[in-house]
Amino acid sequence: MAEIAPSVLGADFARLGEEIASAGEAGVNMLHLDIMDGHFVPNISFGPAVVARIDQLTDAYLDVHLMLSEPEKYFDDFVKAGADAITFHLQVHPDPVPYARQIRDMGVHAGISINPDIPVDNVLPYLEHFDLFLAMSVFPGFGGQKFIPEVLDKVRTARKHIDSNGLATKIMIDGGVDLTNAAEVVAAGADILVMGTAFFSAHD
Ligand code: DX5
Ligand code: ZN
């Protein structure tokens, strides 16, 4: 069964504690934390100090999505802050395996992400080295954007590759996921649905 990972970027930061508690009450086991540097993406979010505070507030698995030009500089800081998984983008490290090793050697899961304009074939050869594959269904940088449906074919292709090679890599989808497309995303083979706006703006 697919799982939902709420993206804290969609939460009301003035009520962060309550928002995280409400995710816990909704039965969520994983939170997605979007880290942006104003360079790899045209927006700035939050850093390790906020992640460490979130880690104190919840037992949820913390999935840290690094939208950074030099992610490796911060692996250690985010692991110390309580990250359970660290994901970076293939664009910044086209030879990503040494970085996957570095992350796993720190005792956390490693993830690799591709933007909507990157062919899925570029990432397939590396999936065996990663615990998570984060397929972007929007161009990263902002919450609340519209889902790009072309990602579904990438999810199907990755699903086939993972299953036929007996890999344990989980497929995550990130951006614009809501109740109108969730079923389709799951049918395409995604294991985890990141949901920011749709989760935190819902009334129940
Ligand atoms: C986009 C982020 C996403 C985003 C998801 O840059 O990586 O995780 O916060 O938010 P929604 O669900 O609002 O698209
Ligand atoms: Zn994200």
User: Which residues lie across from 31 on neighbouring strands?
Assistant: 62
- The pLDDT-based confidence of 203 (bands split at 50, 70, 90) is confident
Q: Which fold is adopted by the domain 3-200?
A: TIM Barrel (3.20.20)
Query: If you measure from the C-alpha of residue 85 to the centroid of ligand 2, how many angstroms do you get, rounded to a whole number?
Result: 12
Residue 175's region, left for phi above 0, alpha for psi from -120 to 50, else beta, is left
Query: If you measure from the C-alpha of residue 33 to the centroid of ligand 2, how many angstroms do you get, rounded to a whole number?
Result: 7
Give the whole-number percent of the chain exceeding pLDDT 70: 100
150 to each of 43, 64, 156, 196, how far by Cα in Å? 24, 24, 11, 20
Angle between helices 16-25 and 48-57 (to 10 degrees): 50
Give me the mean pLDDT over the 10-23 stretch: 96
Mean of pLDDT over the chain: 97
Q: Cβ contacts of residue 83 below 8 Å, gap of 6+?
A: 33, 51, 62, 63, 64, 108
> Which residue shows structure tokens 């999936």?
127
Residue among 31, 34, 137 to mutate when testing ligand 1 (max atoms within 8 A of CB): 34
Which listed residue (37, 63, 131, 174) is catalytic? 174
Residue 12's region, left for phi above 0, alpha for psi from -120 to 50, else beta, is beta
Q: What pLDDT score was predicted for residue 42?
A: 98
What residue segments make up the domains of the chain, in order of their start? 3-200
Give the whole-number percent of the chain exceeding pLDDT 90: 98
Is 90 exceeded by the pLDDT of residue 204?
Answer: no
In angstroms, the CA 44 to CA 158 distance is 30
Does residue 121 carry a catalytic annotation? Answer: no
CA 109 from centre of chain:
12
Does residue 34 carry a catalytic annotation? Answer: yes
In angstroms, the CA 38 to CA 10 distance is 18
User: Which residues lie across from 170 on neighbouring strands?
Assistant: 132
* Tens of pLDDT, residues 114-145: 999 999 999 999 999 999 999 999 999 999 99
